[in-house]
């Protein structure tokens, strides 16, 4: 099993995915063979983790408070 990142392209009234030639050779895939494809939409893990957090105070307010509490000593 291999993992390939590819773009979905319009192909007539359908969509298609091009598998790189190197990966075809690596797996030994031949024309007219049936293969299994697992589809997963690429996501931004950092955005999912940090983009959903909402703070009531700005970053500057938090930094000013840490300065007042002498955190950097």
Q: 19-42 pLDDT, tens per residue?
A: 999 999 999 999 999 999 888 887
Residue 40 backbone dihedrals phi, psi, to 5 degrees: -145, 125
Quote the CA–CA distance of 18 and 9 in Å, as a whole number: 8
Residue 9 backbone dihedrals phi, psi, to 5 degrees: -125, 150
Quote the CA–CA distance of 10 and 30 in Å, as a whole number: 23
Identify the weakest region by mean pLDDT among 6-10, 13-17, 19-23, 38-42.
38-42
Residues 6+ away with beta carbon under 8 Å from 52? none
Residue 6 and residue 17 in contact, taking contact as beta carbons nearer than 8 Å: yes
């Amino acid at each position: 099993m291999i993992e390939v990142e590819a773009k979905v392209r319009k192909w007539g009234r359908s969509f298609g995915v091009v598998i790189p030639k190197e990966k075809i050779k690596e797996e030994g895939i031949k024309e007219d063979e049936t293969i299994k494809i697992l589809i997963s939409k690429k996501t931004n893990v950092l955005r999912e983790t940090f983009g959903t957090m909402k703070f009531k105070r700005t970053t500057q307010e938090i930094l000013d408070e840490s300065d007042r509490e002498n955190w950097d000593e």
